[in-house]
Amino acid sequence: MCLAVPSKIVSIDSMLMATVDVMGISRTCSLRLVPQARVGDYVLVHAGFAIQLIEEQEAAETLALFHELPGLFEDELGEDLTAEAEQRTA
């Protein structure tokens, strides 16, 4: 129910209604809750409203964090797994 779908803004009208592209399908949504959004931005859309801008950069950072995980918990995992992780990122 709280699902929000990533969508790309194609155009915006004067009433803050946007045409968005959702995996190739064209839909409309309101930008009232994300008024700073611009054409070309990606937004999360929930029940007809954009609720969040999404940054492509952030996705990349999240992934990088996953790779660092073993290193974060060195105390519990011992050095071997940490070394493995370093090898992978090297």
Partner 1 sequence: MQLSDFRDPELTKELLETLRKLCGDRTMNLMEVCGTHTVSIGRYGLRKAVPEGVKLLSGPGCPVCVTSNHDIDTAIAMARVPNVTVATFGDMVRVPGSSTTLGAQRAHGADIRVVYSPLDALEIARKEPQHNVVFIGVGFETTMPVVGASIQMAAEEGLQNYFVLSAHKRTAPALEVIANDPQTRIDGFILPGHVSTITGVEPYRFLAETYGIGGVVTGFEPVDILNGITRLAAMVVQQKPAIENAYSRGVNNNGNLTALATIKDVFEPCDAQWRGLGVIPLSGMRIAEKYRAFDALEAFEPDVEPVRETKGCRCGDVLRGRIAPDACPLFGRACNPENPVGPCMVSSEGSCAAYYRYRDTPL
**Smallest gap from residue 19 Cβ to partner 1 (A):** 14
Could you say whether residue 58 binds partner 1 (CB under 8 A)? Answer: yes
Q: Mask 15-54, x = binds partner 1 (CB under 8 A)?
A: ---------------x-xxxx------x-x-xxxx-xx-x
Q: Report which of 46, 53, 45 is spatially closest to residue 21, judged by C-alpha positions.
A: 45
φ, ψ (nearest 5 deg) of residue 34: -135, 60
Q: Which helix (H) or strand (E) holds 58?
A: helix 56-72
Sign of CA dihedral 49, 52, 56, 62: negative
Residues lying near partner 1 in the complex (CB under 8 A) are found at: 1-4, 6, 30, 32-35, 42, 44, 46-49, 51-52, 54-56, 58-63, 65-66, 69-70, 72-73, 75-78, 81
